[in-house]
Structure 1
């Protein structure tokens, strides 16, 4: 059967939305198709951004109801996509690249048939400490208690790679804990850890909360010095240099050089092409609504959406970009 996906003609940053789209989704007309969006923890950007996308889809694609789900992050999201327990997912480009080739965290799991919908924004690798710890460099982490992110998260993969590029063994040279963003903030605030890694958009709410805690002054430790090593090992498409501006968090005494990695919204390659097209169109038609949910949603543009994915784009997304005149075979 066929369900009609209606995207009203609302104008956002991406221009006029598409007209009515018919999508074969295997459900009788009049019934609701429910889709799940795998995001991340509540203290990061994925969850609120995913919640915004879910609302836009539910409000504007007729016959579709979307829900944002809390997860451990990128690695789990991609596995959920592979086994079809999630329909959309947020993924960091480094983990996405590994999943496409069935290596690293996906060595035993196998290759994941994920396809890009849009490259959303850059994650900035935060290495967060307090000025009271005396930690000013990655090398200073030796022997310290450090959280490398939740198990199965993109943060954990990035943290391991940054430490290794700096000459530290994550299993031997630090006293490692595996905590999510919110738990890491609490642990650092309470003196239970000395520093934590976090890969996220800026500002990240939980880090901002720490930075505004009375009697605590945060320090973001530069990690951009390992960029060349990371690019040599994993490719320039996966990692690139960036900085966290001084104004991002209270207490910063200057811009901080960091490693950036793209965030990609992905779907299973078998997602119906018209549904994928409708979701892609909604990201741009309701750009301003999404930007009101989180500032990182505001950076999305037709041009940036096509830059930085290590996997091919979904046919439905490609169709939308082609209609908008920006498709040149990116990711193919």
Structure 2
């Protein structure tokens, strides 16, 4: 119900402020973290930036979001660091179509790859995917980009199983109904769609071995080891080793410098309000942003970091 209230609040604010600057924030599906986080950010923009309102938009997530930034159809977008890096450099899904005018305001929190099956399943690891029905994420999503990298690095291709391209809610529903055998999420934990699934069915979150994590990290330099803590979801009674990827708040270089400054300032100086929306925002810190952002920062963001006393690495300067 919270996410509905954010969307409603943003819509009402839009209707009441026709003369305001109305910003679009490209997020993801409603069952992930991008949408509620984007809704919380929209509230901060409307509350703390004079003459600005914002709306969180449902999208196909990372790959689509960077295309929207390239086309300036969205003002801000949340996307996985590997997708942002590929977009900026014209590699991967963006081979031959680099988004060279992409800039970052910050890396805002890490996604964790979460691979879920039902407790009654005979799937205990990646090697058990062969011949199974596995959701690899929505088309155009960072989840699919991450899933492909992890699987390819560990010798598993789409030919080895039946890939299903479902969003987070669809993946949870398909697992619940027995229409698939396992699913990938790349999202800030905990996420509502897995929480809801675990409340109705016994689940198992699949661990990655140290060797699998090492192989995947060699495939994707932005990957880092991560531990999903016991108790994260109902019935999850042990820590689960996996991989994390930073999430980046991206904009186009054409964004007004003062606006970029004001958004960065509102986000960091009122982060407690974002944490109240979703616990992933506990990682929204200048230190995390400056250590894990994969592309240059917008000059407006740089101005806020420096005014706040932080040292911006040379590699993050346009």
Task: State TM-score, norm by structure 1.
Answer: 0.87
Aligned match for 1:231, one of 213, 217, 224: 217
Give the Cα separation in 1 of the matches to 2:291 and 2:234: 31
Counterpart position of 1:15? none
Deviations 1:51-83 (A, max 9, x none): 000011012111111111000000000000000
The structural deviation recorded for 1:270 is 1.4
Counterpart position of 2:77? 89
Counterpart position of 2:176? 189
Equivalent residues of 1:224, 1:241 under 8 A apart: no
Counterpart position of 1:4? none
Counterpart position of 1:147? 135
Give the Cα separation in 2 of the matches to 1:192 and 1:233: 31
Counterpart position of 1:316? 300
Counterpart position of 1:273? 257
Structure 1 residue ranges without an equivalent (≥5): 1-29
Equivalent residues of 1:162, 1:223 under 8 A apart: no
Give the Cα separation in 1 of the matches to 2:214 and 2:100: 28
Give the Cα separation in 1 of the matches to 2:117 and 2:249: 30
Of the structure 1 ranges 121-130 and 322-331, higher mean CA displacement relative to structure 2 is found in 322-331
The structural deviation recorded for 1:108 is 4.4
The structural deviation recorded for 1:141 is 0.5
Per the alignment, in what secondary structure is the counterpart of residue 326 of structure 1?
coil
Give the Cα separation in 1 of the matches to 2:220 and 2:269: 35
Report 1:249-328 matches (<5 A): 249-328=233-312
Per the alignment, in what secondary structure is the counterpart of residue 231 of structure 2?
helix
Structure with the greater alpha carbon radius of gyration: 1
Task: State TM-score, norm by structure 2.
Answer: 0.91
Equivalent residues of 1:43, 1:181 under 8 A apart: yes
Give the Cα separation in 1 of the matches to 2:59 and 2:197: 22
Counterpart position of 1:20? none
Residue 180, structure 1, aligned to residue 147, structure 2 = no
Give the Cα separation in 2 of the matches to 1:112 and 1:92: 17
Equivalent residues of 2:290, 2:312 under 8 A apart: no
Per the alignment, in what secondary structure is the counterpart of residue 160 of structure 2?
coil
Residue 107, structure 1, aligned to residue 95, structure 2 = yes
RMSD of aligned Cα (Å): 1.3
Give the Cα separation in 2 of the matches to 1:202 and 1:55: 22
Give the Cα separation in 1 of the matches to 2:208 and 2:100: 30
Counterpart position of 2:154? 166
User: Number of matched residues?
Assistant: 298
Residue 63, structure 1, aligned to residue 51, structure 2 = yes
Residue 222, structure 1, aligned to residue 207, structure 2 = yes
